[in-house]
Amino acid sequence: MSGQQIRKVAVIGAGLMGHGIAQVSAQVAGYEVALLDVKQEFVDRGMSMVRDSLARFVSKGALDGQKADAVLARIRPTTDMKSALEGAQLVIEAATEDPKLKLELYRRVSDHLAPGAILASNTSSISITLLASATTSPDNVAGMHFFNPPQLMPLVELIRGAKTSDATIETIRGVAKQMGKETVLCKKDSPGFIVNRILVPALNEATLLVNEGVADPEDIDKAITLGLNWPMGPLKLLDYVGLDTALGISEVFMSELEDSKYRPSPLLKRMVRAGLLGRKSGKGFYEWGSPSSTKAK
């Protein structure tokens, strides 16, 4: 079964992932994009990150200035949900990784969606079936999990909920291809899907090594980059992902899979409570200088 043709996309959440998804949607796929968040300051920050990212593409010669301006012109920032969702054939949700917040959001979004519009979640771990239950058309709900940063990472995990239709999967597969991405299909709605089911326990184990005083963060990251050929060490990766995001995923795993091996480390909990969230807060396992800086000190 073939999917529908997408022309307009709405992205909910202008944060670390949402702004990147909006940029890829406009820059690579050429879609008209509405970028929605609850506060103007969040929208402004998201657009600032898009401008900074485009400037880096221009400085590296990967994009010319005129095309960068055209990309910006295709992204419409807003705090008005009704306006953002009007005419959108695909809504990609990249809100905070909180099940209660997302369920309430899905109930509200469902009231504004056009008939046949697809709602895709960028969730890292929350059940697509659960999220779909808060809508009036669960067959049009699926997972579309991007990786950080969406502008550069080539993979999108597609996740099928219990009631997701074949047409919905084919549509988002086509969208991902239009964005220049490779896709994998998670056939079963399992927490963490494919990548995070493997990755998050490994990241948590790295924080346990620090907590137990086995090695310093720099040596743990050096061991994994050189010993396992990872492009980035687990603790630096945690700083990029956000320690709060990783903690949230671990807690979902603990709840859904009922297995103690997913229990988040005490150090991870302490750091999140202290606001040491990684790159987005300016400090995590590494000093980043300023929020959203791309280089550790």
Active site amino acids: 124, 145, 157, 196
**What length is written for the chain?**
297
Sign of the dihedral through C-alpha 284, 289, 291, 293 = negative
List the alpha helices (DSSP H) in 145-242: 166-178, 195-211, 217-227, 234-241
* Run of H or E residues at 108: helix 99-112
Question: What's the Rg (C-alpha) of the chain?
Answer: 19
Residues 120, 91: Cα–Cα separation, whole Å: 6
Tokens of 2: 């073939």
Residues 148, 157: Cα–Cα separation, whole Å: 13
Instruction: State the pairing for strand pair 141-146/32-36.
Output: unpaired
Instruction: State the pairing for strand pair 90-93/75-78.
Output: unpaired
